[in-house]
């Protein structure tokens, strides 16, 4: 696997930090796992006890951001720090698209991964954060291969499908996972001349396009996110080629969060075994109430944010 | 044993990279998630990942005891990072009630080097790996805090705040590294393990 090296590497006698390899490598360690949105230290403990590989610290889960409206921003540092101190698993946190100072603050708080997220209100309508400039790694959302590669070109070390967060409706995540995977398969069928045109159509750097065509996969880990609410949702995303799962509102907006969290973890590990998925899906209580995407006004579609 | 069958515990983590490295080093590699699969392999690799998650899933899906029995009975095992934690008899800074498979007479400190911003890569000399130093990738890595008498110390970090910390050990049929050779394409640590398995 060829890994372009980050322009900003911090050399010291004990080695280099913040390299593309340690950033992408961190995401490799999360594979096959579930990353859960949490808003309090108590929820973070529940997630850790349920077997989450990491937690996403935020002030409001996407379902509440939708309900309450207004500008959604990076969480209060006290709140992020409270969660960082309450668990031993990795902690991620969200910065607004393009808001590089929020990202600087999150790095200084010691978070392990920054999610430059469309769930928050974008801070820049043209530019995403230059992620190479940071020691902390970034995950970004994508709806298709071109978008994924533009984010990787900016330094993202992990990609997730956007889905439509806070809806409890998996249909958009399905669309994005299928789109990314089918775009990748298509690249593999092209000859070298055609790859130049593909790069133009994808609006992505040629080198990354050629690398994906050769590898048959993204050069970074691909997770899924946005609307996953049940163990079967998580398993379907894994069967569609996701390497792991983000669950946002789906856990703590359900009737029995601890149980549902554990069930989704198990279903993600045994995503290809319907007997296990059936077993863990029993008696979980009420799932979160979902929203039909067609009922969402255009300005409330988070997946359209990002460029 | 001409071509050993080596399992990679596939509950969570960088399973695919270990499968690939083992195949490239001359073994047949298979993912292992079930008790029957534990019984079918000649040796096991415990991959990098989140040790608390893997430990919990190993208990839930009833592979923890079979792994303890087989490793206790002499089945070779190699653990990288989270895998080192799972092989350790004692851990520091684990979560409450965190279980390990055990077998390796060491105390391992979890997340010892710090958070992700402290993750790093550096060259380390590893006893038993001839030639150039191994380029080692440490990701929220543990280190070995204390070792029992039967444990060989294979590698230590050189320089920096963690100077001298033990990051690779061997105890007979058990091998463990704080770092991830499966991420670099350098197959020498996996080759060392495959030779160890063939020799038994």
Count of CB pairs separated by less than 8 Å, A with B: 133
Q: Sign of dihedral through CA atoms B86, B88, B93, B96?
A: positive
Interface test with A, best of B82, B139, B162, B167 (most A CBs within 10 A): B139
Residues 6+ apart with CB under 8 A from B80: B18, B45, B46, B47, B48, B176, B177, B178, B179, B180, B181, B182
Q: Do residues B169 and B176 lie in contact, with contact meaning Cβ atoms separated by under 8 Å?
A: yes
Annotation-wise, does A249 bind a ligand? Answer: yes
pLDDT digits (tens, 9 = 90+) for B9-26: 999 999 999 999 999 999
List, in sequence order, every residue forming a beta bridge with A142; answer none if it has no partner: A161
* CB atoms A28 and B57 under 8 Å: no
Q: Do residues B49 and B42 lie in contact, with contact meaning Cβ atoms separated by under 8 Å?
A: no
- pLDDT tens track of chain A, all 307 residues? 344 444 344 544 458 999 999 999 999 999 999 999 999 999 999 999 999 999 999 988 888 998 898 899 999 999 999 999 999 999 999 999 999 999 999 999 999 999 999 999 999 999 999 999 999 999 999 999 999 999 999 999 999 999 999 999 999 999 999 999 999 999 999 999 999 999 999 999 999 999 999 999 999 999 999 999 999 999 999 999 999 999 989 999 899 999 999 999 999 999 999 999 999 999 998 888 888 888 888 888 899 999 8
**Per the structure, how many domains does chain B have?**
1
What size, in residues, is chain B? 200
Least Cα separation, residue A33 to chain B (angstroms): 6
> Active-site residue numbers of B?
81, 180, 182
Straight-line distance from the first to the last Cα atom of chain B, in angstroms, rounded to the nearest whole number: 8
pLDDT digits (tens, 9 = 90+) for A241-282: 999 999 989 999 899 999 999 999 999 999 999 999 999 999
All residues of chain B having their beta carbon less than 8 Å from the beta carbon of residue A48 are 52, 95
Range of the domain at B90: 5-198
In terms of C-beta density within 10 A (0-12 exposed, 13-18 middle, 19 or more buried), how is residue B92 classed? middle
Q: How far apart are CA A168 and CA A166, in angstroms?
A: 6
* CB atoms A1 and B185 under 8 Å: yes
All residues of chain A having their beta carbon less than 8 Å from the beta carbon of residue B183 are 21, 25, 28
Q: How far apart are CA A124 and CA A113, in angstroms?
A: 20
| φ, ψ dihedrals at A204, nearest 5° | -135, 155
Q: Give the model's pLDDT for residue A140.
A: 98
User: Which B residues in the span 44-83 are in contact with A, Cβ-Cβ below 8 Å?
Assistant: 48-50, 52-53, 56-57, 60-61, 81-82
Interface test with B, best of A12, A19, A50, A88 (most B CBs within 10 A): A88
Q: Which of A115, A134, A179, A127 has the alpha carbon at shortest distance from A306?
A: A127
pLDDT digits (tens, 9 = 90+) for B68-93: 999 999 999 999 999 999 999 999 99
Residues in chain B with pLDDT values less than 70: none
Q: How far apart are CA A210 and CA B172, in angstroms?
A: 45
Q: Give the model's pLDDT for residue A14.
A: 57
| φ, ψ dihedrals at A63, nearest 5° | -60, -35
Tell me the binding residues of B: 49-51, 110, 139-140
Q: How far apart are CA B123 and CA B28, in angstroms?
A: 29
Give me the percent of chain A exceeding a pLDDT of 70. Answer: 95
What is the chain B residue with the closest CA to A86? B95
pTM confidence score: 0.95
Give me the percent of chain B exceeding a pLDDT of 70. Answer: 100
Q: Give the model's pLDDT for residue A275.
A: 98
Q: Give the model's pLDDT for residue B140.
A: 97
Q: Give the model's pLDDT for residue A12.
A: 46
Is the CB of residue B12 less than 8 Å away from at least one CB of chain A?
yes
Annotation-wise, does A37 bind a ligand? Answer: yes
Three-state secondary structure readout of A214-260: HHCCCCCEEEECCCCCCHHHHHHHHHCCCCCEEECHHHHCCCCHHHH
3-class secondary structure, B136: strand
Report DSSP state, residue B151.
Answer: P
Residues 6+ apart with CB under 8 A from A124: A97, A98, A99
**CATH no. for residue B74?**
3.40.50.880
In terms of C-beta density within 10 A (0-12 exposed, 13-18 middle, 19 or more buried), how is residue A7 classed? exposed
């Amino acid at each position: 696997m060829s890994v372009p090296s980050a322009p900003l590497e911090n050399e010291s006698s004990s080695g280099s930090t913040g390299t593309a390899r340690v950033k992408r490598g961190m995401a490799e360690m999360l594979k096959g796992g579930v990353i859960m949105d949490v808003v309090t230290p108590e929820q973070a403990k529940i997630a850790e006890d349920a077997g989450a590989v990491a937690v996403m610290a935020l002030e409001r889960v996407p379902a509440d951001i939708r309900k309450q409206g207004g500008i959604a921003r990076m969480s209060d540092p006290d709140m992020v720090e409270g969660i960082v101190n309450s668990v031993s698993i990795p902690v991620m946190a969200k910065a607004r698209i393009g808001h590089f100072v929020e990202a600087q603050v999150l790095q200084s708080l010691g978070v392990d991964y920054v999610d430059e997220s469309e769930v928050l209100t974008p801070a820049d309508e043209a530019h995403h954060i230059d992620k190479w400039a940071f020691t902390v790694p970034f995950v970004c959302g994508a709806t298709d291969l071109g978008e994924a590669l533009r984010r990787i070109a900016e330094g993202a070390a992990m990609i997730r499908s956007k889905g439509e967060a806070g809806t409890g409706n998996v249909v958009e995540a399905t669309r994005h996972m299928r789109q990314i995977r089918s775009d990748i398969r298509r690249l593999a069928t092209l000859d070298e001349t055609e790859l130049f045109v593909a790069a133009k159509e994808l609006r992505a750097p040629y080198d990354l396009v050629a690398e994906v065509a050769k590898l048959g996969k993204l050069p970074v880990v691909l997770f899924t996110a946005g609307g996953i609410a049940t163990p079967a949702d998580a398993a379907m995303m894994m069967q569609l080629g996701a390497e792991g799962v983000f669950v946002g509102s789906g856990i703590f907006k359900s009737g029995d969060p601890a149980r549902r969290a554990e069930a989704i973890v198990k279903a993600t590990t045994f995503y290809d075994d319907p007997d296990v998925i059936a077993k863990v899906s029993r008696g979980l209580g009420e799932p979160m109430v979902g929203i039909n995407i067609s009922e969402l006004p255009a300005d409330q579609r988070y997946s359209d944010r990002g460029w | 044993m001409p071509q050993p069958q080596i399992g990679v515990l596939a509950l969570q983590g960088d399973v695919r990279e270990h499968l690939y490295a083992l195949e490239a080093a001359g073994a047949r590699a298979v993912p292992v998630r079930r008790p029957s699969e534990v019984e079918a392999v000649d040796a096991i690799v415990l991959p990098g990942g989140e040790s608390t998650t893997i430990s919990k899933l190993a208990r839930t899906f009833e592979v923890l005891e079979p792994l303890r029995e087989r490793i206790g009975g002499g089945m070779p095992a190699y653990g990288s990072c989270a895998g080192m934690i799972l092989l350790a008899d004692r851990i520091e800074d684990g979560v409450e009630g965190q279980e390990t498979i055990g077998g390796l007479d060491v105390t391992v400190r979890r997340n010892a080097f710090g958070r992700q911003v402290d993750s790093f890569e550096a060259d380390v000399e590893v006893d038993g790996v001839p030639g150039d130093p191994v380029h080692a990738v440490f990701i929220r890595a543990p280190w070995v805090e204390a070792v029992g008498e039967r444990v060989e110390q294979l590698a230590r970090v050189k320089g920096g705040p963690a100077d001298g910390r033990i990051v690779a050990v061997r105890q007979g049929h058990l091998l463990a590294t704080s770092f991830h050779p499966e991420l670099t394409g350098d197959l020498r640590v996996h080759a060392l393990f495959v030779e160890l398995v063939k020799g038994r």
